[in-house]
Structure 1
Amino acid sequence: MAELETEIQAQYHATYHHKQPIPQKAKWGNFRKIIWTAILLGIPVGAVWIANLPYPVIRRPVAEKAPILLLPSYMNMESNYRQAITSVQQAQHLIENPTSPADLDLGEQKVKIAQKNLDALPVGFLNDWPEYRFGWYDWRFNIYEFNTARTKIGQLEAKVFQEKNAQILLTDSEQALQKAKQQYQQASTPTDKQATIASWRSSIDQLKQIPSVTLAGETAQAKLNNYQRDFQEVVGLAAGNERVSTFIEVARQFSWEAAKSGQNPPHSVAEWQQVEQLWEQAIAQLQQIRSDDLTGYAEAQKLLAQYNSNLGQVKIRRQAEQVSVETLQRAQGRIERLVASIPTDATSVNLNYIISELQGIINELENVQNGTTAYLKSQELLLSARNKLKQRQPQ
């Protein structure tokens, strides 16, 4: 029975190996090996990790005493540096030579990646320790190329900003143009049609304002001729009439300002010149109306005759003002010289000279025209000069 029981147990353990008991001593031995292995590996790894911390107070002594420990840092710096240069080159190609808005979006992403890589470089440390040569690894930091990359990133960011603004302007202008076109086709009154024509033309003008150096500007220029031809075909004569009405209305605004500014004379020479400019601007608006615009050409010519007449009158008033002011100034100068030439000794006074000068002054003052700023002053001096002349003439 004892032998049979032993045989049955042996067969049982041979069938179920995982059920066999594991000696306790072997378990503890394996665990100790794992712990010591972790400690032996962790100490140098931890030392290298501490040596590569991104703090100058740690990296500088290590670079002087044991530069080999900084190999991971230099490899990371080189990786960021090369990725930044590559990203800048890719972004430059995508942004400066885009074929679609998708190129600009991808270029913007490349710019952000390049900026992130450059920001990861410890420039202060690299300025002091720009190169690393140890064994098979050899790398040198190029500060000139680094600064060039940063400058290029700034330029590309500005270019992307300009491109985005141009793209927004293109989208808004095209949407406004299509909306104005639909509203014009649905408009039922002349007033509504004129309003939609103005909106339509404004949208076309916005397309012209998109910078041609941008992708959106090139797209707008390519579409602009079609938009303008479509505008002329759809709007036709109504646009021409609205254009003529606009010129006439603007000319009337200038003429109203000119007439208002010319009221209540006298005015100075500068004020008359301003009135002249207003009349000239009104005339310039009317001169833009072509003879083939039959609806407004006759009205424009009628207003032109009136405005040119008013401009001529203003020029006469301005010239009279200028001449009168200059005449008054000459007369005042002669008076001052005459007063200075009269001696204090009455016995030596040259009466004929005084009479001659007074007569000349009177003649000058009589040339000052009425309706000028110099007229009132000239009349005061004229009255005084006549009295002085009368006192010195023999009775």
Structure 2
Amino acid sequence: MYRLNKTALKILRAEVQKCSGNDQVSKIEQEIVSKRLEKLSQEKGSPAELDELRDSVIDIYPQFSEKVLKQAAKANQPSGIFRKIKWATILLGGSAGILWLINLPYPMIRWPVAKTAPILLLPSYINMDHHYREAIKNLEQADQLINQATSAVDIEQGTLKAKAAQKNLDNLPVWFLGYYPQAYCNFFGCTWKFTVDEFETARQRVARIEAIAFQDKNALKPLVQAEQLVTIARQQYEKAITIKDKENAIASWQAAIDQLEQIPDATFAGESAQTKLKAYQRDFDNARIGTFIAAAQEFDLEAEKIQATQPKAASELWEQALKRLNQIPTENPRYLEAQRLLAGYQVKLKTVVDPRSDTYIEAAKQFALAAAKASQNPPHSVAKWEQIAKLWRKSIDQLENIRVEEPGYVAAQKLLAEYQTNLGIIETRRTAESEAQASLAAANEQIQSLIASPPSEPQQFKGRIQGIINRLKTIQAGTTAYPEAQKLLASAQKKLQN
């Protein structure tokens, strides 16, 4: 006899169709429930009752009709003639009926029998041993399927295995463990000890696995939804004609990626999302940067057309172009392309707004750029620091040519404050380098003098060594003299200790 007959299966399938939608998530849910029902219809054993049928559908479809479940459970029961035969067999079976009675899970019946004729309890012992081993097996399979899941099907199968393990544990009478677990083990000659603690541990493990499965199932829905949103946004972007449409698609694309990032990492869906995010983010960045550049070029073309007649409107368009290009990060492959466009648009914008101050500011920036490049990879010599300081002074001189009444005055003052700060830093570095070179030269002279005429008294010798050490310690890090000073310092300290 199969656990779910065709009539009951047909009733349940019809209700599943009513509860399902037409989207991708609903199709997955429908497939999961259908597989559960199909499995019951292929298993042999006692007919599935109302609670088991409800467990098969209620976690996916909370709205599943209770009336339909009861109808299916009733249709799944064997006909009246079979039930009568079953009870007649039990009642008329004589010794078989007595054996069934004394194997019931009631201590007041089993305890006297266990003392006098324990062999009569063999059927229930075999049944308990079977459920114990099945519980362990199902638990291991559930653990593997849930914690090493490779698909949504694994999670579903792991959930079913956890439920099967729970049913096996429910068939193990806990009272038995408190009465005579030792006799049970001796009777079979078993080597394992099934105790109350082990039973509780197994139950806790089932609960933990079911909780993980529940979290995984909950996370699968936002994963599917986010992936659908990414696909839709990508399609919208590819079909977009205007820059505005492209930017709207980019915004939707970003929202979908944000939703993927919010899926908990500890779930199977979270791991899948993290794996896919790299590809999604790469495609999104390419589309986003491409849109920025395309928008900037479009603004530039429009500004060129109206520059002569509408200079203010043209300047606003170039400002929009600069705003888009400034959002392109330095690590992006198209950054240099964006910077070339940026430089050209800045020249056009400043020509329209303020040609005179633009020239001075541009010249100041060129000197500042040269100074910044020259400052790279310090330390430098005193002469090099002086050369860098001259570049900063020239940059400052250019900015000081811009008068208060000119439109570029405020921008020039901001740059002026920054460049004067940089000049002060360079002057400090030059002074430190000059002092370090002087201290190193003085220390070398002291060393040569000590070598040429060492004192005869040890205390005098150590005093002169200490003087050299004190001189070397004044040399600051970040100067060209510092590495050599550190070597001499180590040598002098070693001499002092000998």
Q: What TM-score, normalized to structure 1?
A: 0.48
**Higher Cα Rg: structure 1 or 2?**
1
Greater RCO, CA 8 A, separation 6+: 1
Q: What TM-score, normalized to structure 2?
A: 0.39
